Amino acid sequence: MRKSIGKDLSRIAMPVILNEPLGLLQKLCEEMDYTDLLDRASQTDDEYLRLVYVAAFIVSTYSSNYYRTGRKNFNPLLGETYECIREDKGWKFIAEQVKILFKYIYFFC
């Protein structure tokens, strides 16, 4: 590491242990894990309770990242796809890396 001071970071070999063993596409799918909260929000008539369910869904994305905040995901390759079928929750997640330059990722649930 001492020899790497002042060099471009893209030219330095970094240890794989710094990366999270998941791809970015799979991590996007993890955010959809608590969709049952959105289902409950759509079925309730109380607008304040609905707001609580939606806020809980938004905060739930941080619960899966609490212990892995210091790691970087593996970047997806161009054309890489990820598919997750959750029959128990009634949805299917399909994601594809379509552009490398600005990390355009399209997904469909």
pLDDT, tens digit, 9 for 90 and up, residues 1-58: 666 677 776 677 777 767 777 788 888 888 888 889 999 999 999 999 999 999 999 9
| Residue 95 is assigned to a structural domain of this protein | yes
Is 102 a domain residue? yes
Which structural domain, as residue segments, surrounds residue 48? 20-108
In a domain, 1, yes or no: no
8 is a domain residue:
no
Global pTM exceeds 0.85: no
- Cα dihedral 73, 77, 104, 87 in deg (nearest 10): -70
In a domain? residue 80: yes
Number of domains composing the chain: 1
In a domain, 3, yes or no: no
